[in-house]
Chains A and B, each alone.
Chain A
Amino acid sequence: MIGDLPLLDAYDIVLGMFTATGLLYLLYSQRNVVGYNRFIDFLIGGVLLFAVGGPIADIVAPAWIHVVHGTAALLVILGLYDPIHNNLRRAEWAELVLNDPAVMRNQAEWMAPMDEEILELFHSAHLVLTPTIIAFNLDHSRESVSRRLSALTENGLVERVDRGKYRMTGLGEQYLDLYPEPATTGRAQPT
């Protein structure tokens, strides 16, 4: 017991406050990261109602706690129904994202499409590679691969270990590890 409050109720309230803070942070920041604001707002609203309304109702009006729970689940339904049955299936970008998460990586301005292929090759080979080997495997010219390697080196995704020899850095791995292996891609697959 904490004062007149049972320990588990106090735990729920504290956890609810932390959860609510996290949700408010998400509400504040999600608009800059993902485009589907409406369904995320419903989803966040449902979890917020559960996390904050649940413990409060448990103390103030225990008979109504399941109405709060049910309504929170209803908001989760509203949050998930639309993206599952309409937007997500219809939206072209979503299909791309699901088949090839690399699209969602939102390459930096300096990056070129070939950079992904080069990084994937480094990732699968776990070797020090030369521009010639990379160009041969990816079916690009050696000159264009060299240019991209310079850009990747400059930005820390690849490092030059010796003259004409490169390997991927931890940052490069981190960039690729950000998303799971694509299910299918149109990219040239490294051999």
Chain B
Amino acid sequence: MALEPLFALTVVYSIITGTAAGVLSLQAWEILRHSPFGRAVSLLSLVMVLFILYHVLLLLFPVPPVRPDLLESALMTGMALFVGLLIWSQHRMRVGTAGVKP
């Protein structure tokens, strides 16, 4: 079963933008890894890798070996963790800039 052209086009669009975002997130991690947001950016890189894999699987396998909705939920979980880490990092920064009072 072949993919519909329009669907394949949207998947390719996701792969291209996802790859660019993945490369940039790796570069951002390289720069920010010693900063408070380093851990969050490293998780973003992992999520982007999963994002690319998910779309490549969809493109290569019309009937993917892994259930796409499972991968989607894994991506959602990764994004939620990324946001959680951002909030945590920001909280730590705020604690550090609040006058360091007990």
Contact, CB under 8 Å: A47 / B79: yes
Per-residue A-contact encoding for B21-52, CB less than 8 Å = 1, 0 else? 10011011001101110100000100010010
Categorize the interface residue count of chain B. Answer: 35 or more
Q: Does B61 contact A (CB under 8 A)?
A: no
The 4 closest A-B pairs by CB, nearest first: A73-B17, A66-B10, A80-B24, A70-B14
Contact, CB under 8 Å: B72 / A109: no
Complex: A11 Cα to B80 Cα, angstroms: 12
B7, B24, B79, B102: the one contacting A19 at CB < 8 Å is: B79
B20, B36, B55: the one contacting A77 at CB < 8 Å is: B20
Interface hub of A19, A47, A76, A178 (most chain B Cβ within 10 A): A76
Per-residue B-contact encoding for A1-37, CB less than 8 Å = 1, 0 else? 0000010110110011011001101100110111000
Complex: A29 Cα to B13 Cα, angstroms: 33
Chain A positions within 8 Å of B14 at CB level: 66-67, 69-70, 73
6 A-B pairs besides A33-B94, A73-B21 with CB distance below 8 A are: A11-B73, A16-B76, A26-B83, A55-B76, A63-B10, A175-B100
Complex: A81 Cα to B20 Cα, angstroms: 10
Contact, CB under 8 Å: A73 / B90: no
Chain B positions within 8 Å of A66 at CB level: 7, 10-11, 13-14, 55, 58
Residues of A whose CB lies within 8 Å of any CB of B are: 6, 8-9, 11-12, 15-16, 18-19, 22-23, 25-26, 29-30, 32-34, 46-47, 50-51, 54-55, 58, 63-67, 69-71, 73-74, 76-77, 80-81, 83-84, 88, 97-98, 101, 104-106, 108-109, 111, 155-157, 171, 174-175, 178-180, 182-183
| Residues A63 and B80 in contact in the complex (CB < 8 Å), given A80-B24, A88-B31 | no
Complex: A106 Cα to B92 Cα, angstroms: 12
Main secondary structure of the interface of B (DSSP, over half): helix
A30, A65, A111, A180: the one contacting B90 at CB < 8 Å is: A30
Complex: A120 Cα to B11 Cα, angstroms: 51
Contact, CB under 8 Å: B21 / A77: yes
Q: Name A80's closest neighbour in chain B (CB-CB).
A: B24
Contact, CB under 8 Å: A84 / B16: no
